[in-house]
């Protein structure tokens, strides 16, 4: 946490790796399709707060925060278990979403 006069600033970031293994039956093909791929998620959060009131070892501060997440799924192929009939499906996606929040933070002194 960084202090800028009466305002406290904080930031955090993270990386998540999601391993996906999918198996689904497709009766029309008389087949089971398999796919395996890795999805990566990057996220970050910033927040600012300022001390409003303090009493009995507790401090109350209004808080404003911003959180963003980007999820990247690479192209993947589904393949059939039987060679007679097979299916191929390719898809790549990238999604970014963000949210903001206003609230209060309660800190206790040790």
DSSP 20-37: EEEEEEETTTTEEEEEEE
pTM of the model: 0.64
Query: What is the model's pLDDT at position 92?
Result: 74
Contact 63, 102 (CB under 8 A): yes
pLDDT, one tens digit per residue, over 54-96 is: 999 999 999 999 999 999 887 666 666 665 555 556 667 888 9
pLDDT, one tens digit per residue, over 11-28 is: 999 999 988 888 888 777
3-state secondary structure of 50: strand
């Amino acid at each position: 946490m960084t202090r800028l006069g009466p305002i406290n600033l904080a930031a955090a970031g993270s990386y998540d790796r999601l391993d996906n293994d999918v198996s689904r039956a497709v009766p029309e093909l008389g087949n089971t399709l398999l796919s395996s791929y890795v999805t990566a998620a990057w996220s970050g959060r910033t927040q600012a707060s300022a001390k409003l009131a303090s009493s009995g070892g507790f401090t109350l501060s209004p808080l404003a925060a911003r959180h963003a997440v980007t999820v990247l799924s690479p192209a993947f192929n589904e393949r059939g278990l039987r060679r007679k009939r097979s299916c191929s499906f390719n898809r790549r996606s990238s999604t970014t979403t963000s949210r903001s929040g206003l609230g209060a933070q309660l800190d206790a002194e040790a």
